[in-house]
Chains A and B, each alone.
Chain A
């Protein structure tokens, strides 16, 4: 195994995603199906006003049930789905076994979580809605997105020196 792969693995072990990925090699256009899922997802984001700055403020001020209903019911449906996939050994459409990787707690979950919470209340958006807001024509949000990319980069730069 070459050192680059080692690094890769170590980095992934702390990360929420980038695990549980398919080992299959497909031509690039197979990825178009994710574009379609994203498209559907983006429509839901806008039509349910999840990307509304006001909805996020209402959530953090306990002025509306809306966002709690959205996130709560999404989690319930997600839980039932994951349970069903495990219980009935449901495979992917390519016949691969779907496997789940447990997450390991680190202090970043707390510190990073709080910092993200600050940003969420300021921008009224988590990363997904940033993309959807730009799509609806709020072009200035491109600046917010670039800043979020910069934030991710700065995290990567200082990662070794931050408490985890």
Chain B
């Protein structure tokens, strides 16, 4: 659906993005991650046809975004960061205007506007002036706008920024449902969201792609692939030394919480040592109050990739 080749954008000599290459297949939900200023918005704006790249090519549904911009733009729904809207129009009026602008046939406008209002939950504010809406509703109007012309591809720049946890959950559900029919490229800072909604992830840092894979594979590649936490009373034993004897355990760090010891075990990727830890604890008569597997999160991946040069 999206094909990007050697895409580069320079602002006054400074490269915002350098030699980006990636593809997004039909029906994929692609997460686009990176620290602020990494080039996410720049990439999305180029793909949406808002500004041209300095060099390189990109196409949407087979249409070059520069040469066949109009056809490409017809096939995508774009929701810009911070969702700029005409604040003096009413919600329904705005959506009807946008539908006509996007070439929705005249007789279908009312139906489409009704559908997206329903889908995005803006039905109860349909007669309000956009300027009087809360941030959450404005965000939803923006999303409704992006969906109006039933585009094959949705490009969403930080769709959940500035929303409260309930609204984030609603938008996430919405995106998940949309992912069944649409191809989606979305950027966000909320990593659990990506793990829950995206089938693939691109991590971009300083204008370059640092990783592009499924969330599971990214986690698998992580050097520090999770671990086990054990909280126990070990009496006179040196708990850390005993735990290190378990073959898959690489390292143990100990924290003391009163008479309880909290051991954090780093284990080899893929290994589950909980059973062995349990046997060890029963054999040595330790009193255990917690034994948990800590799964590595995308946050760990993100921090490792984007902070690699600062550590």
Q: Do A and B come from one complex?
A: no
